[in-house]
Structure 1
Amino acid sequence: MKLLLHACCGPCSLEPTRFLANEGHDITIAYMNSNIHPASEYDRRLSTLRAWADRENLPIVEGPYDVRAWEGCVGTVASDTYASREDRCRACYRMRLEEAARYASEHGFDGVSTTLTVSPYQYTDIIREELKRAAGAHGIASLFEDFRPLYDEATRRSRELGMYRQNYCGCRISQAEAEAERRERKAARAAKREA
């Protein structure tokens, strides 16, 4: 299958591309991630992905980096007092996978997939639903794989390769949440030492 593989970063792409290539798919990576904040982080992740993909002879297509569109889609969900992280992530997945499916359909791909499921921190069932919805809307195949069992190997390989590994999902909200969690852990360790 001529497959467009939506990728969030280099480390998360390692094992899914290996797996899908072994299955016989002709892979092009799609970097379509207007969620990533700030722009310097977006560039750093893309640079890491490109350096690795170039060594592997994997083509990459890049979507527009449109933070306003992401804010318009996800920011309105996030500003709702009753919205959950799950709702916010669904809106983000929907936007990015829709972009990938549209590109795949317009450029002669047979199907679309994503590396998002390699992370144990993502909502795998929602990703499955959104991938299927986006692919169906554009008349192409949805190739869903739960790549979570490959996470440890992807982590090991990315460290071995010296790849940049981010410490938050990507959006401004996840960045703030991750920083708050790190501060809480640091404060708890300091309190434990004092006790």
Structure 2
Amino acid sequence: MTKLLLHVCCAPCAVYPTDFLLTRDYDLTLFFYNPNIHPFREFQKRKESVEMFAESHNLPVHIDGQYRLTEFIRVIVFREKSRCSVCQQIRIKETALFARNNGFDAFSTSLLYSRYQNHEEIRQQCMDISKSLGIQFVYHDFRQGWKRGIESSIAQGLYRQSYCGCIYSEQERYDKCLRKKGKDNGKDDRSGYQQ
């Protein structure tokens, strides 16, 4: 049985990937590492929701409970246009390192569940990190369970957020002037993000 570490960005995004992987030959552990989440109260809500989800499914979970906003901003500043790519890279690499250093056979991520992220870019980043760190990456296109995951997360009463997590996505979600500017420029507006 493959000992698999699954990075989870939030409980709703973990639902379908967890269900899927548990029906396969995996010994599954969840991993919460998300330095991007802002503000602190939002970080706490998402962390607690992942803890509740893991407990209700009798799954082991490793939680990085440190609020790392300062570290995240230092990495992102002046790279705002590529922030999603950088953010994904940070979280995927930390997951792979944790997996390699703690006796796991492989890693994966619930980022592959989202319809709002660049799926192919995430898959490629995982493959590149897998190769560079020498730990197996388990790929599945979890988007096929998007609707089922949403319905299940609602039924389980999991905390559901309205933006991706970072300070920039929060602004895109709630700043009406920024949303209008994005639409006027034909920009992909993530303000419809719903988990």
Q: TM-score range by the shorter chain?
A: 0.7 to 0.9
Select between 132-141 and 4-13 the one with higher mean Cα deviation.
Answer: 132-141
Q: 1:14 offset after TM fit, Å?
A: 0.7
2-structure distance, mates of 1:163, 1:60: 16
**SS across alignment from 1:76:** coil
Q: Deviations over 1:113-160 (max 9, x none)?
A: 000121110110111011112222221101121111111001001111
The aligned residue for residue 122 of structure 1 is 117
Aligned to 2:78: 76
SS of residue in 1 equivalent to 2:59: coil
Report Cα offsets for 1:56-87 as digits up to 9, x if no partner: 11111123432222112222311xxxx3xxx2
The residue number in structure 2 matching 1:142 is: 137
RMSD, aligned CA: 1.7
State, as a whole percentage, how many aligned pairs show the same letter: 34
Matching of residues 107-118 of structure 1 within 5 Å: 107-118=102-113
Question: Does 2:11 match 1:13?
Answer: no
Structure 1 residue runs without a partner (length 5+): 186-195
* Matching residue's letter, 1:12: C
For 2:15 and 2:141, how far apart are their aligned partners in 1?
A: 14
Post-superposition CA distance 1:82-102 (Å, at most 9, x none): x3xxx2111000001111111
* Equivalent position SS for 1:15: helix
* Residue 90 of structure 1: aligned partner: 85
Counterpart position of 1:192: none
Give, as a single letter, the amino acid of the residue that structure 2 aligns with 1:160: A
**Cα distance 1:163–1:69, how it changes in 2: closer, same or farther (>3 A)?**
same
Q: Number of residues paired by the alignment?
A: 178
- Pairwise CA distance, 1:182: 9.7
TM (norm. structure 1) is 0.86
* Contact in 2 for aligned 1:32/1:65 (Cα 8 Å): no
Q: Measure how far apart 1:181 and its partner are.
A: 5.3
Unaligned runs of 5+ in 2: 181-195
Change (3 A) 1:73 1:17: same
Counterpart secondary structure, 1:167: coil
> Which amino acid in 1 is paired with 2:67?
Y
